Amino acid sequence: MTVAYTSPWMNEELNILRSSARKFLEKEFTPHIESWIEQKCVDKAAWLKAGSAGLLCASIPDQYGGGGGTIAHETVILEELERCGIGIHFGNTIHSGIVAHYILAYGSEEQRQRWLPRMASGELIGALAMSEPGAGSDLKSIRTRAVRTPSGYVLNGQKTFITNGQAAGLIIVAAKTDPGAGAKGVSLIVVETANCDGFRRGRNLNKIGMQASDTAELFFDDAHVPVENILGPDEGGGFAQMMAQLPVERLLIAISAVAAIERAVEITSAYVKEREAFGRKLLDFQNTSFKLAERATEALIARVFIDYCIQRALAGDLDTVTASMAKWWLTDKQSETADVCLQMFGGYGFMEEYPISRMYVDSRVQRIYGGTNEIMKVLIARHL
Ligand SMILES: Cc1cc2nc3c(=O)[nH]c(=O)nc-3n(C[C@H](O)[C@H](O)[C@H](O)COP(=O)(O)OP(=O)(O)OC[C@H]3O[C@@H](n4cnc5c(N)ncnc54)[C@H](O)[C@@H]3O)c2cc1C
């Protein structure tokens, strides 16, 4: 960006993290992105390397093997993932920013010690399974059942669209422990896939974008889970736990949207200064320069807004409405920006080897997952 602006939450330590993350990703991730897209998942070895480099569970306390940082650390890592061209393809947002935090917030000390250090090292990949074929936006209507027996919980049901679902060794599953109790009948049960009879992964789903991210169907047919794998002291707390964590999940999506907006403006500005038509640089056409001027302005507005949200999260008071505003507005802006920028590349914008084409398709899902943008507006409108 031409405008000098530094996020108020940045500091020297985060600058060091940024430069070491950038070096690591350029060396260990960038050369492999195409093959990960081809195989529809990131190599397990990359998770382990990211763990060794301190890029996993950066905001989890060091006593559990994490980096001892905050959402600011997760933000820097997310921004660098976007910059290196893998962005939302690497399922670290779900793994470090979400699943690890459910365990930190609701897990017992024994559960934290058991799972978090292996998540921080990349040995154990995390997933969060809420959505089902018949229930996405309307989470209260999930049908997966967890029945308490003397030997633990028996799970029956199906989940779909689960990020990291193929690779995950640890899956937090939203299930009904009391189907008659509405929202109060939902519990979160941790499935350790290595020892779970009755658990099965379905297809790695074919998607139009976000190709290197594995997205799975999961099946539970009398799947046995030890009773101590429930998150929280009592049954029935799951819905409230999800509602409490969703603002940060939405913030993380919005953070990656802003990083993508900034990158789109940056690479498009560079392109239109080089490419010529009718004997002039593309930037010399007023349509091009005005449209980019508008997008650069919006990128700065997006940055200032996201910094406000990050600061609220750092202070521990990011509310549902603000997080919902950030998620819908910034991901809508991301899609619009990718579309306008792609147009400036002409035919090259439609070619896979030009990053803007991937940014265009990847932007689309940001308006759907983590709660659709329509649901964000429902949440905002409820508080008008
Ligand atoms: C790539 C990808 C990764 C995902 N990862 C995960 C994951 O890791 N874990 C997980 O649990 N889920 C995941 N999801 C699922 C995602 O969260 C859901 O797709 C999303 O919440 C929408 O649910 P749905 O697909 O069932 O759509 P529906 O709920 O059927 O909605 C369909 C349409 O109706 C609209 N609509 C629904 N209700 C209302 C309403 N009250 N008012 C206005 N409009 C409404 C929606 O906005 C949408 O446009 C992922 C999805 C994708 C595509």
Q: Which atom of ligand 1 sits closest to the CA of residue 127? A: 8
Q: Which atom of ligand 1 sits closest to the CA of residue 131? A: 11
184: CA distance to ligand 1 center in Å? 21
pLDDT tens profile 66-107: 999 999 999 999 999 999 999 999 999 999 999 999 999 999
345: CA distance to ligand 1 center in Å? 31
374 lines ligand 1 (CB under 6 A): yes
Residue of 40, 128, 131 best suited for mutating to test ligand 1, as the one with most atoms within 8 Å of CB? 131
Count CB neighbours of 203 within 10 A.
11
Residue with CA closest to ligand 1 atom 41: 375
Give residue for tokens 């084409």.
357
pLDDT tens profile 200-244: 999 999 999 999 999 999 999 999 999 999 999 999 999 999 999
> Residue 1: what pLDDT?
53
Q: Give the mean pLDDT of 257-267.
A: 98
Q: Which atom of ligand 1 sits closest to the CA of residue 370? A: 17
Count CB neighbours of 297 within 10 A.
12
Radius of gyration of the chain (CA): 21
In Å, what is the CA distance from 248 to each residue of 6, 37, 155, 316? Answer: 22, 27, 28, 10
In the chain, what are the domains? Answer: 12-123 (1.10.540.10), 127-236 (2.40.110.10), 240-382 (1.20.140.10)
Q: Quote the CA–CA distance of 248 and 59 in Å, as a whole number.
A: 12
Count CB neighbours of 3 within 10 A.
9
Residue 47 contacts residue 125 (beta carbons within 8 Å): yes
Residue 274 phi/psi, 5-degree rounding, is -100, -45
158 lines ligand 1 (CB under 6 A): no
Spatial CB neighbours of 206, under 8 Å, sequence gap ≥ 6: 40
